[in-house]
Amino acid sequence: MTRSVRRTRRMLKVTGAGAAALLALSACSSSDSDSAKTSDSSASASASDKLSGEVTVFAAASLKESFTTLGKEFEKEHPGTKVTFSFGGSDALAASITGGAPADVFASASPKTMKIVTDAGDAAGTPATFVRNQLEIATLPGNPDKIASLKDLAKSDLKVVLCDKTVPCGAAAEKAIEASKLKLTPVSYEEDVKSALNKVVLKEADAAVVYKTDVKAAGDKVEGVEFPESADAINDYPITVLKESQNSDAAKAFIALVQSADGQKVLSEAGFLQP
Amino acid sequence: MDKAGAADTLTGGPRRGRVRVRGERGGAPLPLLVPALIGLAFLVLPLVALLIRAPWRSMPDLLTSSEVWQALQLSLLCATAATAVSLVIGVPLAWLLARVEFPGRGLVRALVTLPLVLPPVVGGVALLMALGRNGVVGRWLDDWFGVTLPFTTAGVVVAEAFVAMPFLVISVEGTLRAADPRYEEAATTLGASRFTAFRRVTLPLIAPGIAAGAVLAWARALGEFGATITFAGNFPGRTQTMPLAVYLALQNDPEAAIALSLVLLAVSIAVLAGLRDRWMTAS
């Protein structure tokens, strides 16, 4: 349900970007050949030269900020294209893809979710890991509860939220907690990583176990605390073109951008680890 | 005799008679019948699909798991509590709207029914802003009484009551407007206080409307998802109601989700069908 709010917000953004792209297009339609010189960063894109049309990318909620940036970059590099995103819990996205949702690219927050799509025969080719993500504890700004380790979350007077174990961030958290042999009782198992984080942003919870990237994206609304056990639960993010893609050239070009040096720079600035 | 006549009107007896008469004149016209059947199929087909796709064989195992029972019990408990809350504060509110003239009544009525059209998740966020630990009122609740509603069963009840109460208020207000105020007036001229008149005359008069509103509110509370997960979170046995369990089960065990949906469907149908006659009077 939070997703739908996010989607509306995103739609607004996308519409805005689309309008901007249209303006840019109509402004320089006479000098279309100029765009060729900007395609230096993605080698595979120059092979198919003229990319156009819409690319629909289904991506894990945690990729929202960095992929939105990359989408704008892609549209700038390939005038005439439009990248549309659907961000959400990886499992929900995988379910809609296997249910026949029209998507060109799927970027998942875990190999397990990607496997749902590959097992259903909906992926074209083998998915590639493009980034990795590590967990971090998000605390209130200034860390008033002096949380320094995963063990501190077991204090009884703390309100801690985790992701539900059905979604990747929850599965990873469970793994890390198991590895540390802790008994942790959260107040809630949230349906995705963003809603777990938001409970801390809204100061309803004292701490949440989320991805490093989400802590970074939240800016000064939360403070991040690293914990060594997170090394036992690093998530690989696989990406693939989908079989039903109506625009697989552009889809491949988008993936190439994600894997390029430029793309990796955007992603590591967001807190992702190199694969 | 009088009573029988009233019951007849309430169950829509005469109306059914009229339809039959028209039927004798040559059946429903095709331009109405076809869309009506499409409408029927549209509403019923998805529910039939649930039945067809249900994993009947693994059903007993799925349904006897403790987590499902917990969620079902919690759902029934919270929906009932939310309905009780709605009755206690919603009926007086409906009376105020129907019987007392005051400036801005139209605006108040609009505000009261707002949760009906508000996306539930917006309701959840609004509740967090008001009653959350850091909320406008919630901050004082926490400081003075040490009470925090988010992540508690009470929080589930609050979220459900917020979304469900307008159904009760609307239903009761409608019944009150239809009821003749002269009975109350007669009672007061005979010496009863306004509250006594309300208790002894008005309440029995509008009882069917209250029952109808309560059933609607209960059913809405039972299905509430957005406000609950936003305001009360999700913890098995404490705040995880059936709709939340269905949603999370769908993430990695669609069969379980279908089974859970069926249970919720069966409970809802049982209640609506059981109270059908009273429910019909709502309109």
Per-residue pLDDT tens digits for B151-170 = 999 999 999 999 999 999 99
Q: Which A residues, 108 through 127, put their C-beta within 8 Å of a C-beta on chain B?
A: none
Is residue A188 less than 8 Å (CB to CB) from chain B?
Answer: yes
ipTM: 0.73
The rounded distance, in Å, linking the Cα atoms of B90 and B105 is 16
* Paired residues of A223 in beta bridges: A139
**Do A74 and A260 meet the contact criterion of CB atoms below 8 Å apart?**
no
Q: How confident is the model over A45-53, as a mean pLDDT?
A: 64
User: Count of alpha carbons within 13 Å of B70, Cβ hemisphere only?
Assistant: 13
Preferred mutation among A4, A204, A206, A222 to probe B, highest tally of B CBs within 10 A: A204
How far A204 CA sits from the closest chain B CA (Å)?
Answer: 6
Question: For residue A83, what are the contacts with CB-CB under 8 A and spacing of at least 6?
Answer: A54, A55, A57, A71, A72, A74, A75, A254
* Paired residues of A131 in beta bridges: A237
Q: Which residues of A touch B149 (CB under 8 A)?
A: none
For B27-50, how does the pLDDT look when each residue is reduced to its tens digit (9 = 90+)? 788 899 999 999 999 999 998 988
B249:A166 CB<8 A = yes
For B97-119, how does the pLDDT look when each residue is reduced to its tens digit (9 = 90+)? 999 999 999 999 999 999 989 98
How far B242 CA sits from the closest chain A CA (Å)?
Answer: 14
**Do A56 and A28 meet the contact criterion of CB atoms below 8 Å apart?**
no
Is residue A9 less than 8 Å (CB to CB) from chain B?
Answer: no
For residue B142, give the chain A residue with the closest CA.
A204
**Do A250 and A168 meet the contact criterion of CB atoms below 8 Å apart?**
no
The rounded distance, in Å, linking the Cα atoms of B81 and B65 is 25
For B174-232, how does the pLDDT look when each residue is reduced to its tens digit (9 = 90+)? 999 998 888 888 998 998 888 899 899 999 999 989 998 999 899 999 999 999 999 99
* Paired residues of A189 in beta bridges: A162
